[in-house]
Amino acid sequence: MATSVDALLCALAAGGANDTMTNPIVELAVHMKLATEAVVGAAENLSALRHDAPSVAAIAAWSRVRDDLIALNVQLGMMERILRVVTTGSATATGVI
């Protein structure tokens, strides 16, 4: 997803959005990119939290964290699609809406 956000930022920098909307949209895209990087970083470190002989409660907590990271990543993907629709103005053409 980070690559898609990078491409979106490049398109916005090239004038892909209305000038009155560019600043808030670019700011949103930057925060989405940072959030995506945080999700990836957390997911990479998740395995370090798992012990060799964890309790049932620890396994359940680990699984919930993993599931929440997946859900967060899905939501970031949806926000990226919405942001792309806003910047291109082609909601029906992309099938997002």
Q: Could you list the pLDDT tens digit for every one of the 97 residues in the chain?
A: 445 656 656 665 665 555 545 578 778 888 888 888 888 888 888 777 766 777 888 888 888 888 998 999 899 988 888 888 887 876 555 555 5
Domain that holds residue 9: 2-92
Number of domains present in the structure of the chain = 1
- Residue 41: count of CB within 10 angstroms of its CB: 10
Q: Is 97 within the bounds of a domain?
A: no
The structure tokens listed for 30 are: 């930057």
In this structure, are residues 58 and 51 in contact, taking their beta carbons and an 8 Å threshold?
Answer: yes
